Structure formats: C-alpha cells, structure tokens
Amino acid sequence: MEWTGVARTFGLFFATAIAELVGCYLPLLWLTGKGGIWLLLPAALSLVIFVWLLTLHPAASGRVYATYGAIYIATALGWLWLVDGVSPSWTDAAGVGLALCGAGVIALGQRPV
C-alpha cells in the first residue's frame, strides 16, 4: 500500500473513532445530568455516521477491526486529554505505542514481499 493509501486509511480510522466516541460521550453527559436529553439526537446521528464509516473500511474485516482498535485506543486517550482534561500517564502513552506497533505489524504484514 502506498503512503497516500496508508494516510487515507488512517484518516478513515480516526474519523470512525471520533464518531464512535461522540456517539457514546453525549448520552453519558445526559445520563450524568451534565446535559439535556436533546444530546441524544446528535449522539444517534454520530453513531449512524460511525456505522456508515465502518462500511468504507477495506476488506478482511478481522484485520481492519484489529487495526481500528489501536487507532481507537490512541484517539480515546487523546479524548481523555483534550475533552476530559486528564493528562495521560506514561503507561497510557506506552500502551498506545504498543497498540499502534501491533496494528502496524498486522497491517504491514499482509503486504507482498
């Protein structure tokens, strides 16, 4: 896969993770009393977008979901920092690094030699 394809796929994974996080975060705000019931509408829309984005991922869904999982982990910890205001620890960063390395092995391991 060429680098533009890798960047496009990474962007798609990132957009999918954001849609999933928003779709889950907004109902949490409502359930904890930090937001109104109206938040359920954009949450539902975000989850619809999440499902649609899943259909755009490349074939071999098991590998796609394994790779997406690593991107989701990284995005969730970015969310922790940017939205929740909690600084990730060094173990969070190490875990993200390990997950991304594992995803790279899975994704790049399927290239013809």
Higher pLDDT, 69 or 108: 69
Burial class (CB in 10 A: 0-12, 13-18, 19+), 79: middle
Reference 39, options 18, 16, 22; nearest CA is 22
Name the most confidently modeled range: 2-6, 17-21, 102-106. Answer: 17-21
According to the model, what pLDDT value does residue 38 have?
97
Q: What is the mean pLDDT of residues 104-110?
A: 78
According to the model, what pLDDT value does residue 104 have?
83
pTM (2 d.p.) = 0.77
Q: Mind listing the pLDDT tens digit for each residue in 21-47?
A: 999 999 999 999 999 999 999 999 999
